[in-house]
């Protein structure tokens, strides 16, 4: 079978699941930053500024939201992300 090239599958992180915790997001952010030729430490510092998980997610979205889809059913987090 042959077909036209399609876009690669989306990368999806379920924030409500086991990979939605802050430690996983930090690990993945570091890996993505390195693979994109970015310095990871400023991103990690920005993600860790304060103790707010919602802010951490927002910073992750800022840097990697163009190719990573974050999913959640948490209405508070969804509302925060729309700000």
pLDDT one-digit tens code per residue, 5-42? 556 667 889 999 999 999 999 999 999 999 999 999 99
Chain centre distance of CA 67: 9
Give per-residue pLDDT as tens, 62-75: 999 998 989 999 99
What is the pTM assigned to this prediction?
Answer: 0.86
Report the alpha-carbon distance of residue 16 to residue 8 in Å, rounded. 24
Beta strands in 1-83 (DSSP E): 11-14, 68-71
Contact 32, 64 (CB under 8 A): yes
Residue 58, helix vs strand vs coil:
helix
Please report, in angstroms and rounded to a whole number, the separation of the first and last CA atoms in the chain.
46
């Amino acid at each position: 079978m042959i077909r036209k090239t399609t876009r690669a599958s989306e990368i999806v992180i379920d924030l409500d699941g086991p990979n939605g915790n802050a430690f996983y997001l930090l690990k993945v952010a570091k890996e993505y930053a390195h693979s994109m030729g970015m310095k990871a430490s400023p991103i990690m510092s920005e993600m860790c500024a304060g103790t707010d998980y919602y802010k951490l997610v927002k910073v992750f979205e800022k840097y990697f939201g163009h190719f990573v889809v974050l999913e959640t059913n948490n209405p508070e987090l969804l509302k925060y992300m729309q700000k």
